Amino acid sequence: MTAVDTDLDEHWMRQAIAAARDAEARGEIPVGTCIVSGETLLAVAGNRTRTDIDPTAHAELVALREAARKIGNYRLPDVVVYSTIEPCAMCAGGLVQARVRRLVYGAADERAGAVESRFRICDTDFLNHRIAVTAGVLEEDCRKLMQQFFRARRGG
């Protein structure tokens, strides 16, 4: 098992938060993701569903596509994925398919989170790959970003 470096996790989560803010500036739901191999940033993305008119353009999948192209392989067994919000079922499934080593996320998604809140896609015995998960990195910052976005959208 690999030791967890909290300072490093926070550093990369800040990159994901910046991507979430960029997504919000484009009118997207503010979710951001970055993918790291060792100390190398392979990809960073925010949600692009509205921008790309693509229901699969969640931050996690956009970043997975970019990282896979960069390394020339659809398998990403040595990477760590940082996401501001607990991934949904589609994104968690993508992480498993890519054989991601570790997922770090900020805030839980009680309604649709598929890593720990609703389903356990990343560590279920039914699939052939399990992902190490670290939750709650810069959790309050990630949660506030989402809460403020939805509060503003509701007009209050």
d(CA 141, CA 143): 6
Contact 96/122 with Cβ under 8 angstroms?
yes
d(CA 131, CA 46): 22
Number of helices followed by number of strands (H, E) in the chain: 5, 5
Which of 24, 28, 60, 86 is flagged as catalytic? 60
Would you place residue 85 in the very low, low, confident or very high pLDDT band (cuts 50, 70, 90)?
A: very high
What does the pLDDT look like over 102-138, one tens digit per residue? 999 999 999 999 999 999 999 999 999 999 999 999 9
Q: Say what percent of the chain tops pLDDT 90.
A: 92
Q: What's residue 1's pLDDT? A: 45
pTM (2 d.p.): 0.95
Q: What's residue 154's pLDDT? A: 84
d(CA 133, CA 11): 17
Contact 107/84 with Cβ under 8 angstroms?
yes
Q: Is the pLDDT of residue 156 over 70?
A: no
Q: Is the pLDDT of residue 89 over 70?
A: yes
d(CA 39, CA 119): 30
Average pLDDT over residues 131-151: 96
Would you place residue 80 in the very low, low, confident or very high pLDDT band (cuts 50, 70, 90)?
A: very high
CA distance to 37, 75, 114, per residue, from 94 (Å): 17, 10, 12
Contact 142/112 with Cβ under 8 angstroms?
no
Q: What's residue 3's pLDDT? A: 61
Active site annotation includes 86: no
Average pLDDT over residues 73-79: 97
Q: Where are the strands (E) in 52-99, listed by range? A: 79-85
Q: Is the pLDDT of residue 79 over 50?
A: yes
Average pLDDT over residues 145-153: 91
